[in-house]
Amino acid sequence: MIVDISEAKTNLSKLIDSVCCGEKVVIAKNDLPMVDLVIHQPAGERILGLLVGEFTTPDDFVDEAEQINDMFYGDEIS
């Protein structure tokens, strides 16, 4: 079902019920489909440390590069 945005504002509760019952609802603006109204899917639990041991951070990671500073600031820093 495709509904205009003004109709969606008016009938949001009914549209949510329709989606919960399995109907596909698309909200359009000026007859152009903009968004799908879908049931919320929980993101799941984050797994920390997934890439432990896969890479190492170089010791000079936070050091400034003179060439890059020159590109941004010119002779101001020199």
Q: Is residue 37 predicted with pLDDT exceeding 90?
A: yes
Q: Is residue 78 predicted with pLDDT exceeding 70?
A: no
Q: Give the C-alpha distances (Å, rounded to integers) separating 43 from 12, 40, 47, 49.
A: 24, 9, 12, 18
For the segment 15-35, the average pLDDT, to the nearest whole number, is 96
DSSP 29: E
| Of 20 and 65, the one with more pLDDT | 20
Q: Is residue 77 predicted with pLDDT exceeding 60?
A: no
CA distance 33 to 57: 45
Per-residue confidence band for 76, with pLDDT thresholds at 50, 70 and 90? low
Q: Average pLDDT, whole number, for the chain?
A: 90
Tokens of 46: 């984050």
Q: Is the four-CA dihedral 24, 29, 34, 38 of positive or negative sign?
A: negative
Tokens of 20: 């919960």
